[in-house]
Amino acid sequence: MTAAWGPRIGEGFCRQYYPVWLFFVRSAIALPVALLLMAIAIPALAGSSVNSLLIVALLVVAPALIALFVSVHRVDIFGRRVAAELDQAGYPSDGLVPLRTTNQFDRWRATHNIPTEAIIGIGNRRYGQGGN
């Protein structure tokens, strides 16, 4: 995570973003695993009622979907927080820093003409750098 995001947002923002990013990645992995478990469960339940299939789907897939939706929302909340901090420092944007992928972030940064050094500096001043 730090190798990809560190040069873009700095240590300060990285330290704050890491738990959000980790939950996002884990929930993104959980959905295909849940779908695979559902695919395994369907033949085993082939002779049973539709209700049991729906219950298994709810128990297996729904938590993974909910986790994914919550994690995307948390990434967006953090992106809004970063945008607000950049806005306070004099770098206005559209209110949401896209932090789901580095490509989206790089396009956003170039579109809004915000120097990487400014983003890193703001994050490090606000949240510290290194072991602080």
Has residue 12 got a pLDDT over 90?
yes
The closest alpha carbon to 97, from 25, 9, 3, belongs to 9
- Give residue 71's Cα distance to chain centre: 6
3-state class percentages of the chain: helix first, strand second, coil last, to nearest 5: 80, 0, 20
pLDDT at residue 132, as a whole number: 45
User: Six-digit token pair at 68?
Assistant: 């994914």
How much is the pTM? Answer: 0.84
Per the CB < 8 A criterion, the answer to whether 83 and 77 are in contact is no
User: For 72-131, what is each residue's pLDDT tens digit?
Assistant: 999 999 999 999 999 999 999 888 999 999 999 999 999 999 999 999 999 999 998 754
User: For 36-76, what is each residue's pLDDT tens digit?
Assistant: 988 888 888 777 777 887 888 888 899 999 999 999 999 99
